[in-house]
Amino acid sequence: MSSLTRRSLLSKLAFAVPALAEKTENHTLIHVFLRGGADTLNLWVPYADDRYYRLRPSLAIQAPGTAANAAIRLNDRYALHPAMKPLEAAFKEGRLGAVQSVGVDNTSGSHFECQDQMEHGDSMHGTPAGGGWLGRYLRLRAGDNPSPLSAVAIGTALPESLRGAPAVSVLERIEDISIKAPAGKAEAVVSALNAMYGADVTMLGERGVETLDLFRRISTLQHGNDAPAHGAKYPESPFGKGLREIARVIQARLGLQVACIDLGGWDTHFFQGNSSGTQAEQIQLLAHGLAALETDLKDHRANYTIMITTEFGRRVYENASLGTDHGRGFTLMALGDRVKGGQVIGGWPIQADDDVNVNTPGPGGLVMETDYRHVFAEVLHGSLGLTNHEAEQLFPGMIPRKVGLM
Amino acid sequence: MKQARRDLLKSAAWGWSALALTGCDRITTAVNREWLGEGIPERLIPPQDVQIDLDFHLLSRAAFGPWPGDVMQLKKVGRDAWIEEQLHPESIADSACDLRAERFESIYFSAGDAYEFRKPVLRDELTRHSLLRAIYSRRQLFEVMVEFWTDHLNIDLEKGDCIYLKPSDDRDVIRKHALGNFHDLIRASATSPAMLVYLDGKTNMVRKGTHDQPNENYARELMELHTLGVHGGYTQEDVREAARCLSGWTFDAKRVFAFNQSESYFRPDWHDDGEKRILGQSIPKGGGASDLDRLVDIVCQHPSTAAFIALKLCRRFVSPNPPQALVKRVSETFTQTNGDIPSLLRVILKSEEFANSRGQLLKRPFKFMVSALRALAVDTQAEKGLLEPLQRMGHGLFQYPTPDGYPDEELPWMGTLMWRWNFVLALGSNKQLGTKIDIRPLNQALSETKSAPDIDRWFAHLIGRQPSEDELKSLRASAQDIPTTIGLILASPAFQRC
Residues A61, A63, A66, A71, CA torsion sign: positive
Look at residue A239 and tell me if it is in a domain. Answer: yes
Q: What b/e string do you get for B177-204 counting C-beta neighbours within 10 Å, with b at 16 or more? A: bbbbbbbbbbbbbbbbbbbbbbbbbbeb
Q: Do B412 and A142 touch (CB under 8 A)?
A: yes
Which of B151, B158, B321 should we substitute to test contact with A (largest number of A Cβ atoms within 10 Å)?
Answer: B158
Q: Decide if B30 touches A, using CB distance below 8 A.
A: no
- Give A-chain residues touching B392 at CB under 8 angstroms: 167-170
| Tens place of pLDDT per residue across chain B (498 aa) | 344 444 444 444 444 444 444 456 777 777 777 666 678 899 999 999 999 999 999 999 999 999 999 999 999 999 999 999 999 999 999 998 999 999 999 999 988 888 889 999 999 999 999 999 999 999 999 999 999 999 999 999 988 899 999 999 999 999 999 999 999 999 999 999 999 999 989 989 999 888 888 888 899 999 999 999 998 999 989 999 999 999 999 998 887 666 666 789 999 999 999 999 999 999 999 999 999 999 999 999 999 999 999 999 999 999 999 999 999 999 999 999 999 999 999 999 999 999 999 999 999 999 999 999 999 999 999 999 999 899 888 899 999 888 999 999 888 888 789 889 999 999 999 999 999 999 999 999 998 776 767 899 999 999 999 999 999 999 988 767 899 999 999 999 999 999
Look at residue A352 and tell me if it is in a domain. Answer: yes
- Shortest Cα distance, chain B CAs vs residue A10, angstroms: 14
Assign A297 a pLDDT band (cuts: 50, 70, 90).
Answer: very high
- Could you give the number of structural domains in chain A? 1
The Cα A237–Cα A228 span in angstroms is: 15
Q: Do B394 and A211 touch (CB under 8 A)?
A: no
Q: Do B415 and A146 touch (CB under 8 A)?
A: yes
Q: Decide if A192 touches B, using CB distance below 8 A.
A: yes
Task: Determine contact, residues A263/A33, Cβ cutoff 8 Å.
Answer: yes
- Give A-chain residues touching B487 at CB under 8 angstroms: 181-182, 189
- Shortest Cα distance, chain B CAs vs residue A273, angstroms: 35
Task: Determine contact, residues A322/A309, Cβ cutoff 8 Å.
Answer: no
Nearest to B478 among A150, A160, A191 (CB): A191
Which of A204, A210, A215, A393 should we substitute to test contact with B (largest number of B Cβ atoms within 10 Å)?
Answer: A204
The Cα A69–Cα A77 span in angstroms is: 18
Task: Determine contact, residues B34/B19, Cβ cutoff 8 Å.
Answer: no
- Give A-chain residues touching B162 at CB under 8 angstroms: 130
- Give B-chain residues touching A183 at CB under 8 angstroms: none
Question: Which residue spans within B377-473 are E strands per DSSP?
Answer: 379-380, 435-436
Look at residue A349 and tell me if it is in a domain. Answer: yes
Side chain identity at B23, as an amino acid letter? Answer: G
Side chain identity at A67, as an amino acid letter? Answer: A
- Give B-chain residues touching A131 at CB under 8 angstroms: 156, 158-159, 399-402
Torsion-angle region of A161 (φ positive above 0: left; ψ -120 to 50: alpha; else: beta): alpha
Which of A207, A249, A254 should we substitute to test contact with B (largest number of B Cβ atoms within 10 Å)?
Answer: A207
- Centroid of chain to Cα A297: 15
- Shortest Cα distance, chain B CAs vs residue A249, angstroms: 16
Nearest one of B401, B409, B374, B370 to B387, comparing CA atoms: B370
Q: Do B401 and A145 touch (CB under 8 A)?
A: no
Which of A134, A144, A185, A191 should we substitute to test contact with B (largest number of B Cβ atoms within 10 Å)?
Answer: A185
The Cα A333–Cα B258 span in angstroms is: 49
Q: Decide if B412 touches A, using CB distance below 8 A.
A: yes
The Cα A76–Cα A140 span in angstroms is: 43
Nearest to B412 among A132, A166, A168 (CB): A166
Task: Determine contact, residues A92/A342, Cβ cutoff 8 Å.
Answer: yes
Nearest one of A398, A388, A373, A389 to A126, comparing CA atoms: A398
- Give B-chain residues touching A143 at CB under 8 angstroms: 411-412
Q: What is the CA radius of gyration of chain B?
A: 24
Nearest to B401 among A164, A177, A195 (CB): A164
Nearest one of B478, B454, B480 to B467, comparing CA atoms: B454
Side chain identity at A254, as an amino acid letter? Answer: L
Cα dihedral: A191, A193, A195, A200 (round 10): -170
Find residues 106-165 of chain B whose CB sits inside 8 Å of chain A.
Answer: 156, 158-160, 162
Phi, psi of A345, rounded to the nearest 5 degrees: -80, 145
Domain holding A82, by residue range, is 28-175+235-394
Q: What is the pLDDT of residue A182?
A: 80
* Digit-coded pLDDT (tens) for A355-396: 444 433 344 556 788 999 999 999 999 999 999 999 998 998
For A5-53, give the DSSP string: HHHHHHHHHHHHS--GGG-TT--EEEEEEETT---GGGTEE-TT-HHHH
Cβ contacts below 8 Å, chain A against chain B, sum to 160
Q: Decide if B379 touches A, using CB distance below 8 A.
A: no
Angle between helices B79-86 and B341-349 (to 10 degrees): 160
Q: What is the pLDDT of residue A364?
A: 57
pLDDT average, residue stretch A319-331: 88
- Give B-chain residues touching A146 at CB under 8 angstroms: 414-415
Nearest one of A226, A225, A218 to A254, comparing CA atoms: A218
Q: Where are the domains of chain B?
A: 1-36, 45-79+362-498, 199-301, 303-355
Q: Name residues whose C-beta falls within 8 Å of residue B338's C-beta, 6 or more positions apart in sequence.
A: B181, B183, B301
Find residues 207-226 of chain A whose CB sits inside 8 Å of chain B.
Answer: 207-208, 211, 214-215
For A82-116, give the DSSP string: GGGGGGHHHHHTT-EEEEEEEE-S--S--HHHHHH
The residue in chain B having the minimum alpha-carbon distance to the alpha carbon of residue A137 is B401
pLDDT average, residue stretch A67-90: 96
- The SS3 assignment for A61 reads coil
- How many of the other CB atoms lie within 10 Å of CB of A402? 10
The Cα B475–Cα A5 span in angstroms is: 19
Helix residue spans in A161-306 (DSSP H): 186-198, 203-223, 238-251, 278-296
- The SS3 assignment for B351 reads coil
The Cα B62–Cα B71 span in angstroms is: 13
Q: Name residues whose C-beta falls within 8 Å of residue A35's C-beta, 6 or more positions apart in sequence.
A: A111, A115, A262, A263, A264, A265, A266, A310, A311
Assign A351 a pLDDT band (cuts: 50, 70, 90).
Answer: low
- Give B-chain residues touching A127 at CB under 8 angstroms: 200, 217
Measure CA of the first residue to CA of the last residue in chain A; give whole Å. 54
Q: Do B415 and A150 touch (CB under 8 A)?
A: yes
The Cα A121–Cα A372 span in angstroms is: 9
Nearest one of B48, B67, B50, B87 to B349, comparing CA atoms: B87
The Cα A309–Cα A65 span in angstroms is: 29
The Cα B10–Cα A270 span in angstroms is: 60
Q: What is the pLDDT of residue B358?
A: 97
Task: Determine contact, residues A150/A167, Cβ cutoff 8 Å.
Answer: yes
Angle between helices A186-198 and A3-16 (to 10 degrees): 90
Nearest to A179 among B422, B471, B473 (CB): B422
The Cα A241–Cα B102 span in angstroms is: 43
- Shortest Cα distance, chain B CAs vs residue A312, angstroms: 21
Which of A140, A156, A175, A189 should we substitute to test contact with B (largest number of B Cβ atoms within 10 Å)?
Answer: A189
Look at residue A370 and tell me if it is in a domain. Answer: yes
Q: Decide if B418 touches A, using CB distance below 8 A.
A: yes
For A304-320, give the DSSP string: EEEEEEES--B-SS--T
The Cα A82–Cα A66 span in angstroms is: 13
Whats the size of chain A, residue-wise? 406
Q: Do B478 and A189 touch (CB under 8 A)?
A: yes
Q: Do A142 and B411 touch (CB under 8 A)?
A: yes
Q: Decide if B221 touches A, using CB distance below 8 A.
A: no
ipTM field: 0.89
The residue in chain B having the minimum alpha-carbon distance to the alpha carbon of residue A131 is B401
The residue in chain A having the minimum alpha-carbon distance to the alpha carbon of residue B395 is A166
Phi, psi of B202, rounded to the nearest 5 degrees: -50, -35
- How many of the other CB atoms lie within 10 Å of CB of A184? 8
Q: What is the pLDDT of residue A368?
A: 83
User: Looking at A198-207, A220-229, B386-395, which range is the least confident one?
Assistant: A220-229
Q: Do A180 and B412 touch (CB under 8 A)?
A: no
The Cα A289–Cα A243 span in angstroms is: 7
- Shortest Cα distance, chain A CAs vs residue B333, angstroms: 34
* Digit-coded pLDDT (tens) for A127-184: 778 889 999 999 898 877 778 888 999 987 788 999 888 888 888 888 778 888 887 8
The residue in chain B having the minimum alpha-carbon distance to the alpha carbon of residue A3 is B470
Q: Name residues whose C-beta falls within 8 Å of residue B394's C-beta, 6 or more positions apart in sequence.
A: A165, A166, A167, A168, B365, B412, B413, B415, B416
Q: What is the pLDDT of residue A222?
A: 65
Phi, psi of B209, rounded to the nearest 5 degrees: 75, 15
Instruction: Give Cα separations from A287 to A28, A86, A298, B328 (angstroms).
Output: 20, 6, 16, 64
The Cα B399–Cα B198 span in angstroms is: 12
The 3-class SS string of B10-55 reads HHHHHHHHHHHHHCCHHHHHHHHHHHCCCCCCCCCCCCCCCCCCHH
Q: Please list the residues that pair with A171 across neighbouring strands.
A: A154
Task: Determine contact, residues A90/A335, Cβ cutoff 8 Å.
Answer: yes
Which of B153, B421, B468, B482 should we substitute to test contact with A (largest number of A Cβ atoms within 10 Å)?
Answer: B421
- Centroid of chain to Cα B387: 16
Strands, sheet with A72-73, edge to edge from the N-terminal-most edge strand = A44-45, A79-80, A72-73
CATH at A162:
3.40.720
pLDDT average, residue stretch A101-117: 87
Look at residue A14 and tell me if it is in a domain. Answer: no
Q: Please list the residues that pair with B265 across neighbouring strands.
A: B250
Q: Do A142 and B480 touch (CB under 8 A)?
A: no
Q: Do B417 and A148 touch (CB under 8 A)?
A: yes
- Shortest Cα distance, chain B CAs vs residue A260, angstroms: 15
Find residues 135-164 of chain A whose CB sits inside 8 Å of chain B.
Answer: 135-136, 139, 142-143, 145-148, 150, 158, 160, 163-164
The Cα A268–Cα A279 span in angstroms is: 7
- The SS3 assignment for B81 reads helix
Q: Do B198 and A130 touch (CB under 8 A)?
A: yes
- How many of the other CB atoms lie within 10 Å of CB of A303? 19
